[in-house]
Amino acid sequence: MNISRRTGIFAASAAILALSLTACGSSAEPGANSSAVPSASADFSPVTIKNIYGETEITEVPETIATISWVNADTLLALDTVPAGMDTDTYGQNANNSTDWKDAALAELGASIGSEKAPKQFDIADGIDFTGIAELKPDVIFAPYSGMTQEEYEKLEKIAKVVGPIEANYTTSWQDATEAAGQMLGKQDQATALISEIEGKMAAVGDQNPVLKDSTFIAADLSSPETSYVYSTGDTRPRFLTALGMKQAPYVDENAAKDAFYFTVSPEKVNEWDADVVFASAVAGNSVDDIVKAQPLYGQIPAVKNDAVALPGTDQATLSISAASPLSIEWALEHVVPNIVKAAENAAAAK
């Protein structure tokens, strides 16, 4: 994983948030799972998918698809399509160098990692695995959610058609990624229905927990004692919380630079975080007490005083929201949102 991606997810020092870059390749043969991708049908209408570097014309349903970065493999799986190759997960990963939600989807589609039909897992220790992707001979490289540079995009175009980043630096929404996948696969109706279903489930959580709609939030990172980070409008974390019915505290837009998805805040100024709830990533396993012990100034955060800081708890839980996909969101609704609801209840009780 490269430094820009590490910053995009955590925006914290490499020393605090060093991630394992070891990856385990799949023993599956390239293209072994191509039967999981629907064959091009006679009624498929060619589509053009735009990205920040150009546009890609898809004239028939691709039979062999390689995905780059998080979210993109999840998105195909959510549309009942198994990619022939996908990046290993190198943060929040399980024993399969994958995630629990991805493994569940692969199992349902008969392509569990380690099985004959499993996707090839690309080794991304040094960035994009150009060699592994080329060996797969894909019809399309699917990466609408990614931090791909133009140089990487042009290099990949020599291998196959590329559905590149729709927005730069991992800011493409899961909805836009899903819509692009639906266009590419000729499954626009299924993609639209899936987006509506997931959005409906998130809205339902807000309806079932009205305390969320009465709560303001700041999405932050408290992994480093030296510097804290706040995620601004447009980042996946604020989008997730807003979809639950919560309102982002005015502090965020008042301090964020234009088009920036995060900004730094010195510990001396976190007392200005005037929000009911702070949803904060941190070193896995750390409690709020651990965070304050490492940096006492974090104890000045109003939400800390009100026991209204919601921590994901594990790296996988952090990933489920920071790199949200149709699959990870459903997992997060069950495993992460209860902590957010509890924090909102504590904030309400303190008013």
Q: Are residues 183 and 213 in the same domain?
A: no
pLDDT of the residue at 177: 98
Q: Are residues 132 and 213 in the same domain?
A: no
Q: Are residues 172 and 261 in the same domain?
A: no
Q: Of 197, 231, 261, at which residue does a domain stop?
A: 197
Q: How many domains does the chain have?
A: 2
User: Cβ neighbours of residue 73 under 8 Å, at least 6 residues apart?
Assistant: 67, 83, 86, 87, 102, 119
pLDDT of the residue at 24: 29
Do 240 and 201 form a contact (C-beta atoms < 8 A)?
A: no
Residue at 283 is within a domain: yes
Q: What is the pLDDT of residues 335-347, one digit of tens each?
A: 999 999 999 999 9
Residue at 12 is within a domain: no
Pinpoint the alpha helices (H) of the chain.
3-10, 72-78, 100-108, 130-136, 150-157, 174-185, 188-208, 210-213, 236-243, 250-255, 288-294, 302-305, 315-322, 326-335, 337-350
Residue at 251 is within a domain: yes
Q: Are residues 151 and 224 in the same domain?
A: no
Single-letter amino acid code for the residue at 204: A
| φ and ψ at residue 160, rounded to 5 degrees | -165, 175
pLDDT of the residue at 347: 98
Residue at 243 is within a domain: yes
Q: Are residues 118 and 92 in the same domain?
A: yes
Residue at 203 is within a domain: no
Q: Are residues 213 and 333 in the same domain?
A: yes
Cα–Cα distance, 154 to 344 (Å, whole number): 46
Do 340 and 85 form a contact (C-beta atoms < 8 A)?
A: no
| Residues forming beta bridges with residue 58, ordered by sequence position | 47
Residue at 30 is within a domain: no
Q: What is the pLDDT of residues 68-97, one digit of tens each?
A: 998 999 999 999 999 999 999 999 999 999
pLDDT of the residue at 41: 52
Cα–Cα distance, 143 to 52 (Å, whole number): 12
pLDDT of the residue at 145: 97
Q: How many CB atoms lie within 10 A of CB 7?
A: 19
Cα–Cα distance, 62 to 199 (Å, whole number): 28
pTM (2 decimals)?
A: 0.87
Do 211 and 344 form a contact (C-beta atoms < 8 A)?
A: yes
Cα–Cα distance, 161 to 153 (Å, whole number): 10
Coil, strand or helix at 199: helix
Q: Are residues 185 and 216 in the same domain?
A: no
Q: Are residues 166 and 226 in the same domain?
A: no
pLDDT of the residue at 260: 84
Q: Are residues 316 and 259 in the same domain?
A: yes
pLDDT of the residue at 42: 59
Q: Of 137, 164, 197, at which residue does a domain stop?
A: 197
Range of 217's domain? 209-350
Residue at 184 is within a domain: yes
* CATH number of the domain where residue 250 is located: 3.40.50.1980
Q: Are residues 187 and 265 in the same domain?
A: no
Residue at 40 is within a domain: no
Q: Are residues 190 and 225 in the same domain?
A: no
Residues of the chain with pLDDT under 70: 1-42
Q: Are residues 186 and 233 in the same domain?
A: no
Q: Of 197, 223, 245, at which residue does a domain stop?
A: 197
Cα–Cα distance, 312 to 127 (Å, whole number): 27
- Pairing mode of beta strands 65-67, 54-58: unpaired
